[in-house]
Amino acid sequence: MSTINLLPWREERRKELKTQFVASAVVITLLALIFWGIGHFYHAQLIDVQNSRIALIDSNIEVLDKKIAEIKELEKQKERLLSRMRAIEQLQGNRPLIVRFFDELIESLPEGLTVSDIQQSGSNITVNGLAQSNARISAFMRKLESSEWLANPNLKVIQESNAGGEEKLVNNFTLTFSQVVPKVEVKDI
């Protein structure tokens, strides 16, 4: 006689397959969680490294910003010092011009002409004075015109007054001219 298995083998097989499925699902889920955790940890480490690099760069930027501010301040100080040096050099260079101006003015003054006021604005000079006659003023202007250091005399005002007493009439005058620096000729040797 043949043997007939009356046990519910299909249900047992289903239970076995179900248990295997659940076990494999749990293992796959655990493996997925482990890989996800490793990936998350790795990316968190990368983010931390980048954040530390950014913090280092930010601190270096702050240091460089302070140095740039110091450099700008030093540049301002340098420019102020250079402008002072230029002013001093200009004054040193103009020192002989003042002496030369008074020397030329004294040489150009004719007898009978008195200077009472001198004003200088850049290279323009204004002279106020008294003269015994108009001819003396004309002679003064001719001497100024012939000077190498003084040029462009221009008579602004001339008035007759009794400043010299009742018998002597004098002329008050205002004269403008320019101070020039003659060009030096270089001779070929």
pLDDT at position 89 is 84
Q: Is residue 156 part of a domain?
A: yes
* pTM for this model (two decimals): 0.49
In a domain, 13, yes or no: no
pLDDT of res. 85: 92
| Domain count across the chain | 1
Query: Helix (H, G, I), strand (E, B), or coil: what is residue 188?
Result: coil
Q: Tell me the pLDDT band of 19, cut-offs 50, 70 and 90.
A: very high
Please indicate, yes or no, if residue 166 is contained in any of the structural domains: yes
Measured in whole angstroms, the distance separating CA 82 from the mean position of its chain's CA atoms is 12
105 CB neighbour count, 10 Å cutoff = 21
Does any domain span residue 147? yes
User: Within a domain: residue 29?
Assistant: no
- Is residue 30 included in any domain, yes or no? no
Q: Is residue 130 part of a domain?
A: yes
Question: What's the rounded mean pLDDT across residues 166-175?
Answer: 80
Angle between helix 9-108 and helix 134-146 axes, rounded to 10 deg: 130
Q: What is the domain-level CATH number for residue 113?
A: 3.30.1360.100
Query: Range of 166's domain?
Result: 90-179
Query: Could you read off the pLDDT of 52-109 as tens digits, one per residue?
Result: 999 999 999 999 999 999 999 999 999 999 999 998 887 777 677 778 888 888 888 8
What is the average pLDDT value for the chain, to the nearest integer? Answer: 86
Query: 144 lies in a domain?
Result: yes
Within 8 A by CB and 6+ apart from 159, the residues are: 171, 172, 173
**How much is the average pLDDT of 32-38?**
96
At 99-135, the pLDDT tens digits run: 888 888 888 888 888 899 999 887 889 999 998 888 8
